Structure 1
Amino acid sequence: MTTMRVKSKVLLTFFLAIMLLIGSLITISSQVFNTKFYDLELSQIKDAQQVILNEINKDTEALSLTTADWAAWSETYDYIQKKNSSYAAENFSYESLKNLPIDLIIYTNNNKIVHASAIEKEKIKKPSTDLLSEVLKQSNLLQVYSDYRNTKTIIELENHGVWIASAQPISDSFQKAPPRGTLIMLKRLDQAYFKNMLSRVRIKVSLQGVSNKKNEAIKKSETIFYKYSSIKIGSNKFLVYRIDHIPKTTIKGKEAFITFTLVVVFFVSFILGLTYLVIEKKVLSELMKIIDEINLLKVGNLTMISMDKESTITEIQDLVNTLNKLISRVKDDYALLVQKGKFESLGLMAGGVAHEINNPITVIQMNTFKLLRQLKKNEDIDAQVLKKKLEQNMQHIDRVTNIILGMKKLSRHSIADSLIKVSVNEIINDVASLEAGFKSDKDITITYTKLEEDKFIEALPSQIIQVLINLIVNSSHAINDHGQKWIRLEAECNRNFIQFKVIDSGNGISKEIQEKIMDPFFTTKEVGKGTGLGLSICQRIAHFHGGNLELDTDSRNTTFILNIPLVKLDSLEEKVS
């Protein structure tokens, strides 16, 4: 199960690594491609923008050339002086004007309109008075007569839109006589003009109007780019038009990129998949064997890791050798720590036990002395008195025997011994029998609560007793300055565990200390009065027995709980403690 779980995790990690690699590759490539495509589209839009400007400039030049040509005719010069009556009929018809790049033609003399014609929908019409009035307001067009110069520009006529305008002084063909009036030709820059760009240069353009601000924005979606461009038509006014650009390069590029991505995903997945199979066969399978061996290890039964055959990978063989050295070191260190704790417990109790044994021995000695004195004097000994004395001696002998048995149980087992089935209530009794040895303060009341129905655990009794005594001694030190001094050792059955609870009259342990209390060498005692190994060793002993030692943070009083797994009566051979 563990092997399958580890393999699943490795496979999942490999899969995630592939996904991460592919995702990163796609993301980076997409960014690079999109940037390049975007730059390319901008370049194409810029080219289109330049084409539109070139077309407008071309129309402006064409209008300027036409104006200059007509203004230089002798017939035009005569007409403006009213010397050519046939000029109007010959030149102001639709047939004469339809091929010219103009929408409006105006003849002026002394800033007065002599003639004006507008081309609209294949007809010649007379322009509106309002339109002509707006044209006459354009001083830069009318001054060409007095300045003897030509003008070409883009102007806005209020309520009549934007126009390309060209003005030329009317002179004789030899330009010997002074100019007589001005010829003005205009071409409208309206929606139809820009719409016609699609047929002229294959660029879709739409007029957006006149704005007080220059607009060069770009808006884009997946299927189209909108590029706004501006042409200055006055000191603070701009003609704004929009180029609609379909990003064909990006669309084709994305299709190619998808194909590229699929190919990359396939090859990366294939290569990494092949790599995984090689790693799984050569490395992972051997590591799984090592993990299985490690999972079979128990603190109470540490055995060296063995492989069916020596690994072909030097690093794995080195790992096995290192783990075996570590296992050997842990076994030695753990045995030393447990033995140290045991000696500390025995040393702690030695004085108290000696005092506890001395009292019953003194009573036995006194009773025996009295009986011997009566026998020496050949005095008659009352049978009831004799019985009473002997019963007292037996009671005190049993008391001494129990103390000695408790000490033997505490010192008997070593780390190399096998776990045995032991009674929970018997462990409580053994701890109680050693109370005189570890109880340093006579004002402390210690009570013991056994199970109503005795249970059994698989353990080394001496180590369980050692842990409980260590916890009780710690409690007695902690409550030394308290008004109420009591400690309770209780045994409870909780599902598949026996819980040995050591509860004292203290008010718990601060959160800062809770996090460190099980750490080796951590102690709250004064220097020289504690090594900080007590609870650390107790925790190790609990793990050795398949259980754990924990602090009950929810309890009102300071409470430590030693959890040891229950054992069923039929699961172990009966062994004598």
Structure 2
Amino acid sequence: MFKKITEYFIPKARRELDAELRSERIFVAVLLISALSNFLGINLAVEIGAKLNGQLLLLNGIINLIILFAYRFGLPKFTAASIFLTQYAISFPLQAWLQGGLLSPASAAFFLLPSVAMLILGKKPAVFWMIVSALLSVTLLVLELNVGSPEPEYDLEKKQLFYFSSILGTNLTIFLILLVYELGKSRALQNLHEKHKALKDTQTQLIQQEKLASLGELTAGIAHEIQNPLNFVNNFSELGNELIDELIEERLKSRESRDELMISEILEDLRKNLVKINYHGKRADSIVKGMLDHSRANTGEKKPTNINLLAEEFIRLSYHGLRAKDKTFQANFDMELAQDLPSVKAVSQDIGRVILNLVNNAFDAVHEKSKSAGEEYQPHVKVSTQLLIAPGGYHSQEENPKSYIQLTIADNGGGIPKSIQDKIFQPFFTTKPTGSGTGLGLSISYDIVKAHGGELRLNKSGSKLSTGTEFMLILPVA
């Protein structure tokens, strides 16, 4: 019931936003409790014969209700709270003076003023109202010292009842306000927990979508890669059958009419065809083995990995995967892979996924630019590797600094604006059109590389708007 009443006084615009309404509920609750305590105090004022105090309490309660309705219909919260605290600061010194000055029970309200201010407006405004409260107390003290303590305006025979009821009422008011505050905080924490859980669930779903998207592109690339050697096997097999038919035809001729030189040439061609069939068969076999490696559960075990072979494999898979997905896709790519590089200790599936994501982004960038650039534009992606000794960011004071391998993926696409370069590794941040990316690819890649003791960087000096982007993947040598 009380919750419905408090929500009634919260501005409609705030309720329709479905925002966190904790501070609004506390503000409304404080005003309602204040109005209620004023109205209840009228009975006490009548009982002890404090007529003027009763009239002030009635006026305060009405003012509180007017502030509540004004707040509901658009009065800004800060203005409403300031009016409430101002009438509080005027009313209670008057009541204290009517009841006998600083020694009256009403003087306890001076301590409530800054507390209530902090509760409904925050810490900074509370300092101002703390000063106001102190000034009011000093003012009453000065008046009493110079003018004398005022005569209490109530029946002194009921002094004990007055003191007991006032102290009880003050404590009850404080308790109710703190109870509202704690309940509001509990609800806010519960809402925060629920929103956090929903966010985690959404993040898990998006990560799963990102994995499925990568898997789809990987599968398309693998299918295309297998198709190439199979085409060679089929073509050379058909050619082999034709050569065998020619050989049989020649062998059916009489010994005198046979062309032995031609037979030798056919046999040599057959041998070459079988060599090629064997080569492309092994190539298909290696692709299938690689696919099986990726389909196996990732144990997280890091093993010595040839970064050149990994880069070569995944740039081909990315290229063919995008070609399979979009027939209009056209781009050139080349690889400058340093020879005799040492191995890196890595989970090959994870680092392969990072490379695939970076290369996919590079191909997407050049493809997107090719749609608006002129015919002279040649979309191009370059992948290179090199050995580094304690590169920037890995400063070593040892005599034999640790070695790293740097894989660089550069494109001549649209580039990344300087204003967002610091945000690209943040979760859910994406420069792609709505629906084209989850904003998790680079974030996940960044975390994977960090878990390998390496670093994923955007080369800010080499990545400029309209001229392209360059990412550097740095991994320690095994």
Alignment TM-score > 0.5, same fold: no
- RCO higher in 1 or 2 (8 Å CA, sep ≥ 6)? 2
Name the larger-Rg structure: 1
Structure richer in strand, relative to its length: 1
TM range (shorter): 0.3 to 0.5
TM-score (norm 2): 0.44
